[in-house]
Amino acid sequence: MNRTSLQHRILDRLAPSTLDRYLLRQVVPPFSIALGVVMSALLLERLLVLFNLLAANGSSMKTFFALLSDLIPHYLGLALPAAMCVSVFSVIRRMSTNHEIDALMASGVSLFRICRPFVVTGAIFGFLAFSLYGFIQPYARYDYRSAFYFASHAGWTPHLQSKMFAISDDIVLTAENVDHAGSRMWNIFIRDATDKAHIRFITAQKGYIFNPADGSDIRLDLVDGTIVTDSQDKQPSVTGFTRTTRLISGRSKLDDEAYRKRGETERELTVPELYYGIRHGNPAISHSYMIAELNFRLARTTAIPFIPILACALAGVRKRQKNNPGLAIAAITLVGFDHTLQMGMSFVANMHMSPLLVIWLPTLVFCLICVGVLIRQAGGLRILLERGPSMASRQLSADGLPRHMTERQA
């Protein structure tokens, strides 16, 4: 019987109350908007780089979206804390402006109780961030670099200009005159080494390029020219032609092993791989770099549940206060903390300093500042230390309302 009642008590404690559900419903829309805006802003610069890559190499939109998907985990790790801070701040600020916070505190709901669902959500996001920083980002970072390498080396589409060379691994193509569309050429020279046993040098007075939209082989029609075939061990042969057609692969395939394997840099290693490398050594990566990377990821994950606490503390509006610089202070604090961690990681990697001093000490200071600002905003330590009969009437029910109010309603 006692065991059953204990289980019910635990479930009642864990189940979200009416107040919790209300606060979480309020925070979802601004969080979604903030996450979308921050992600878009961070991706804009990379989008321009990817578009330039596509234009220069004739890659398809499929390659573009593959590269873009590999970038999302990296920028999501930056956008998630910012969106969480902005959304919690906006909700608490609106509730404070509309005197909802005053009404809740007057009925016995403390500021710590109001922040509780946000802190729990921050802890869940911290677990997700650990998965993101520790496992997803290393794979996505390697996939992006690999796909970028293949996109910049494998694709070949002859967007020619006059007296310019179009070069792939096996073909060199140039023409003295090219029309504006790039499809008609005059006075053409081609060096074709696709057949490893022979090298062909082709000249033609005129040529036409047909680039199929389905990505199949490019067709090159040549008119009035000569083919010189060099077999290296035999006398070169010369063949004249009036019209001939050559098929050029628009996507000369690179060997799957043309790009290096994952794990040659510490940023491409997962957390278990970093730990294993620290314990047993990794000949390709410096020991200090792996220590710095591991502590940096763990410190960033640890700090995430404290971001809602900082936002709640800075969002409160005092009576007759029109402007609240809390969001600017929160932004400066988060950016400064992130740069401090990056600087600490650099110190550990290059100067072999202790991560406890330059990574974990700033993390501890940041967490203490977040909790300290909330305690100050709630009324100081006396709120936590206060004990007496006045507190009995302010005990809360499972729905977040004062217990004496629920008893009267019953």
pLDDT at 133: 96
Tokens representing 2 are: 């006692």
* 310 neighbors 328 (Cβ within 8 angstroms): no
- Please say if the pLDDT value at position 260 is more than 60: yes
Distance CA 266, CA 138 (A): 9
pLDDT at 388: 43
pLDDT > 90 fraction of the chain, expressed in percent and rounded? 41
pLDDT > 70 fraction of the chain, expressed in percent and rounded? 76
- Please say if the pLDDT value at position 139 is more than 80: yes
* 183 neighbors 210 (Cβ within 8 angstroms): yes
Three-state SS string over the chain comes to: CHHHHHHHHHHHHHCCCHHHHHHHHHHHHHHHHHHHHHHHHHHHHHHHHHHHHHHHHCCCHHHHHHHHHHHHHHHHHHHHHHHHHHHHHHHHHHHHHCCHHHHHHHCCCCHHHHHHHHHHHHHHHHHHHHHHHHHHHHHHHHHHHHHHHHHHHCECCCCCCCCCEEECCCEEEEEEEECCCCCEEEEEEEEECCCCCCEEEEEEEEEEEECCCCCCCEEEEEEEEEEEEECCCCCCEEEEEEEEEEEECCECCCCCCCCCCCCCCHHHCCHHHHHHHHHHCCCCCCHHHHHHHHHHHHHHHHHHHHHHHHHHHHHCCCCCCCCCCHHHHHHHHHHHHHHHHHHHHHHHHHHCCCHHHHHHHHHHHHHHHHHHHHHHHHCCHHHHHCCCHHHHCCCECCCCCEHHHHHHHC
Closest CA to 191 of 167, 211, 213, 214: 167
- Please say if the pLDDT value at position 401 is more than 50: yes
- Please say if the pLDDT value at position 1 is more than 50: no
Q: Residues 238-264: what's their mean pLDDT?
A: 69
pLDDT at 288: 95
Distance CA 213, CA 293 (A): 45
Distance CA 377, CA 315 (A): 10
Closest CA to 252 of 212, 202, 210, 218: 218
Distance CA 84, CA 91 (A): 11
Q: What is the total residue count of the chain?
A: 410
Domain boundaries, the chain: 165-248
Q: Residues 242-252: what's their mean pLDDT?
A: 69
Q: What are the residues facing 173 on neighbouring strands?
A: 166, 190
- Tens-place pLDDT, residues 267-319: 999 999 999 999 998 888 999 999 999 999 999 999 999 999 999 999 976 66
Closest CA to 31 of 125, 129, 123, 134: 125
Closest CA to 314 of 26, 96, 167: 96
- Please say if the pLDDT value at position 252 is more than 90: no
